[in-house]
């Protein structure tokens, strides 16, 4: 028996035949060459401004990337994930050129070079990474949920064993995004791998400050419906085995797993980090765990000779130098081009949105049919969602309480019953999770329609909202995540600081988002349908006071009615004053303008907004009053006033005026609320003041 064991030992320790170890050795050598080149030459020469070494993390990442060969796979990493990108096949000159901020590459010089993205037709695409720690988790969960949607609803066999992989460091497991994605993945049983690289530090903060005991795998041992795998990411055989186990589990069992690999961070957090918070003995212990010499010992002489290993290193160094030459030969992008690709301009993005999957919008018209009885805005929105769900299998609705309850405002009532839980479903109580997963689903080619219950509740999702809006621009049109984000808000019968805010100007400050604020049922139909058939992310604001307001009721304008964004509507015409408004204030402005010769302009959308219509009217009337519910200081009315002052000053017969809420939250008591919100009487008095100026 002892003899048999001895005979089997060399076979048991031989490199796994299912791994292309020569390629792993080459890519690890290439990654090291790139790190050294940046640290020793490109950063000192100020050709690279942000540098994050992957030394110590690199071998395991390469092994992981080598397992992601399904074009429906997706992965999302962070600033230390370049070895993964190399394993996926990214062009080395793109990687270096992006770090140098040159034209081409990941972003045309718009984003930090270590914030990768990679549309990949031959394997897993690298979803657009973000600069915020933890922001990568929920979009990856969204891609994983889209995989299940393609398999179960659209019945696409190409997604049978696809999976989504997210990479994060030990510091990121303390983030909202990590816990939101973990909840989504386990409650939905999604094919998602959480790959945690634990190097013991988040910049200078020990991992014990991020999670009790410093071991997220141990802490999650009792987490239901999550496979936990834990080990050493520096030992070639062990790392390869654990990665294969984790990937195979997710592919075969169609459920989530968490793989924690301990690795050393052999350089500082970034080039500027001197690591003075680590003592010499600890640094020495980290270098003793360097996976590069371990890989060499594992492969030489079992698979490679010394000369073959040296040849691989020489090839990697030569390729790195050639990539540097190609990268440095690239110019800096023309500065004027940075204005392009904030929104869809006609050239289709490479990845993301239903249009990249062959969607073609049905024929539409901007002329309403206006048949049948008048309906309220709730019914109009529900009917529009129902029609688009019926004709477009990529439309998916989700949020808190939108399923059997039908939403707290009853907008989605009955839609789950008709279209099923896969297409209309409730979510966990996490706005980060709602919007983050919507980003991933949009990237996978669906048209997600997430709902945030009230405007104020969007705050926890601010990072995902911002990252989604900038995606097309920061990837220079390689990726985009079109969606329709429905948000009710504004006062109703009473107010309060939590359910009654508008603050729509905050969304306008997020580049890449279109913003619609309809005042009535007809406009709600046209703008919502246009958003659902468009190719940009849209904030669709539903004012609570107008959802069932008699004034806002209109006949249903038809299933092909679509309104163009950026086109205002004159709801009343006159010659003495221009009144610019939107949302719930339109009805009040119309009533206040009775008996006066006033142009009342309902902007309908705030991004873009119809400057031409406002300026044409002001040049005719010579006066301008802007009325909105949001706060006055830095409200959107200030932008309109500035444009009028800049471009129509010589036409003015009175100062440009604003009438808004004071700079306070919405008061709860109706008496206090009615005092704060612009009333018909106050609007009328302001009109008379300006006309009589």
| Enzyme catalytic residues | 499
Residue with tokens 């720690």: 133
Residues 305 and 313: their CA atoms lie apart, in Å, by 13
Residues 462 and 477: their CA atoms lie apart, in Å, by 22
Q: Which two tokens stand for residue 529?
A: 């349908």
User: Which strand (E) or helix (H) includes residue 67?
Assistant: none
Residues 327 and 102: their CA atoms lie apart, in Å, by 7
DSSP assignment of 609-633? --HHHHHHHHHHHS-EEEEEEEEST
54-70 b/e with 16+ CB inside 10 Å = b? bbbbbbbbbbbbbbbeb
Residues 693 and 684: their CA atoms lie apart, in Å, by 14
- Residue 533: other Cβ atoms inside 10 A: 21
Contact between residue 473 and residue 485 where contact means Cβ atoms under 8 Å apart: no
Residues 112 and 80: their CA atoms lie apart, in Å, by 12
Closest CA to 409 of 454, 449, 375, 374: 454
Question: Under DSSP, is residue 127 helix (H, G, I), strand (E, B) or coil?
Answer: coil
Which residues have CB under 8 Å from 547's CB, separation 6+? Answer: 376, 377, 378, 409, 411, 488
Which residues have CB under 8 Å from 480's CB, separation 6+? Answer: 344, 349, 351, 352, 353, 442, 471, 472, 535, 536
Contact between residue 170 and residue 197 where contact means Cβ atoms under 8 Å apart: yes
Q: How many CA atoms lie within 13 A of 390 on its CB side?
A: 9
Q: Find residue 194's DSSP bridge partners.
A: 166, 258
Contact between residue 622 and residue 654 where contact means Cβ atoms under 8 Å apart: yes
Which residues have CB under 8 Å from 379's CB, separation 6+? Answer: 521
Residue with tokens 């990214």: 90
Q: Find residue 486's DSSP bridge partners.
A: 451, 540
Closest CA to 439 of 79, 138, 106: 138
Closest CA to 178 of 111, 146, 223, 242: 223
Q: Which two tokens stand for residue 111?
A: 């984003």
Where on the phi/psi map is residue 558: left (φ > 0), alpha (ψ -120 to 50), or beta? Answer: left
DSSP state of 463: H
Contact between residue 259 and residue 242 where contact means Cβ atoms under 8 Å apart: yes
Pairing of strands 554-556, 371-375: antiparallel
Question: Under DSSP, is residue 686 helix (H, G, I), strand (E, B) or coil?
Answer: helix
Residues 326 and 306: their CA atoms lie apart, in Å, by 30
Closest CA to 480 of 451, 442, 428: 442
Q: Which two tokens stand for residue 366?
A: 């901007």
């Amino acid at each position: 028996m002892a003899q048999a064991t001895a005979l089997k030992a060399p076979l048991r320790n031989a490199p796994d035949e299912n791994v292309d170890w020569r390629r792993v050795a080459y890519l690890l050598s290439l990654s090291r060459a790139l790190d050294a080149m940046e640290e020793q030459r490109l950063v000192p020469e100020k050709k690279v401004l942000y540098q994050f070494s992957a030394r110590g993390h690199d071998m395991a990442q390469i092994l992981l990337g080598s397992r992601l060969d399904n074009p429906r796979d997706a992965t999302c990493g962070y600033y230390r994930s370049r070895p993964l990108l190399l394993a996926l096949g990214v062009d080395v000159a793109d990687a270096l050129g992006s770090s140098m901020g040159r034209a081409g590459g990941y972003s045309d010089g718009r984003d930090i070079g270590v914030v990768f993205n990679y549309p990949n037709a031959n394997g897993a695409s690298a979803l657009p990474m973000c600069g915020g720690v933890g922001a990568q988790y929920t979009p990856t969960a969204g891609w994983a949920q889209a995989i299940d949607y393609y398999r179960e609803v659209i019945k696409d066999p190409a997604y049978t064993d696809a999976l989504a992989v997210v990479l994060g460091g030990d510091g990121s497991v303390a983030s909202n995004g990590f816990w939101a994605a973990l909840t989504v993945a386990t409650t939905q049983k999604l094919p998602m791998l959480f790959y945690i690289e634990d190097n013991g530090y988040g910049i200078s903060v020990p991992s014990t400050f991020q999670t009790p005991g410093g071991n997220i795998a141990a802490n999650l041992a009792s987490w239901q419906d999550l496979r936990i795998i834990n080990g050493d990411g520096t030992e070639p055989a062990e790392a390869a085995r654990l990665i294969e186990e984790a990937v195979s589990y997710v592919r075969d069992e169609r459920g989530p797993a968490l793989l924690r690999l301990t690795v050393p961070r052999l350089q500082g957090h970034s080039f500027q980090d001197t690591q003075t918070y680590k003592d010499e003995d600890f640094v020495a212990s980290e270098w003793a765990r360097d996976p590069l010499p371990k890989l060499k010992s594992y492969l030489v002489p079992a698979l490679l000779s010394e000369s073959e290993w040296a040849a691989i290193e020489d090839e990697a160094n030569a390729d790195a130098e050639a990539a540097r030459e190609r990268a440095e030969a690239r110019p800096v992008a023309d500065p004027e081009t940075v204005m392009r690709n904030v929104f869809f301009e006609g050239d289709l993005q490479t990845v993301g949105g239903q249009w990249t999957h062959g969607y073609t919008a049905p024929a539409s018209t901007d002329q309403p049919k206006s048949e049948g009885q008048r309906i309220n805005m709730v019914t109009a929105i529900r009917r529009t969602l129902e029609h688009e769900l019926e004709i477009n299998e990529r439309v998916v609705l989700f949020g808190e309480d939108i399923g059997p309850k039908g939403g707290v405002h009853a907008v989605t009532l009955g839609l789950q019953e008709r279209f099923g839980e896969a297409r209309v479903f409730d979510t966990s109580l996490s706005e980060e999770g709602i919007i983050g997963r919507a980003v991933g689903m949009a990237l996978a080619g669906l048209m997600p329609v997430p709902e945030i219950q009230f405007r104020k509740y969007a705050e926890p999702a601010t990072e995902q909202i911002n990252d989604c809006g900038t995606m097309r621009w920061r990837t220079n049109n390689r990726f985009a995540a079109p969606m329709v984000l429905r948000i009710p808000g504004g006062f109703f019968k009473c107010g309060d600081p939590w359910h009654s805010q508008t603050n729509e100007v905050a969304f306008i400050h997020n580049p890449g988002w279109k913003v619609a604020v309809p005042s009535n049922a007809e406009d709600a139909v046209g703008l919502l349908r246009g958003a659902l058939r468009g190719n940009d992310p849209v904030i669709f604001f539903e004012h609570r006071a107008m959802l069932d307001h008699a004034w806002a009721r209109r006949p249903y304008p038809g299933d092909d009615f679509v309104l163009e964004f950026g086109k205002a509507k004159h709801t009343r015409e006159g010659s003495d004053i221009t009144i610019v408004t939107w949302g719930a204030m339109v009805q009040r402005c119309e009533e206040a303008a009775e008996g006066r010769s006033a142009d009342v302009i309902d902007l309908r959308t705030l991004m873009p907004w119809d400057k031409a219509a406002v300026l044409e009217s002001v040049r005719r009337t010579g006066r301008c009053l802007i009325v909105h519910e949001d706060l006055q200081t830095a409200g959107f009315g200030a932008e309109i006033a500035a444009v009028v002052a800049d471009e129509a000053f010589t036409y003015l017969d009175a100062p440009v005026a604003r009438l808004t809420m004071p700079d306070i939250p919405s008061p709860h008591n109706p008496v206090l609320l009615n005092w704060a919100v612009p009333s018909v009487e106050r609007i009328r008095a302001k009109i008379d003041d300006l006309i009589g100026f």
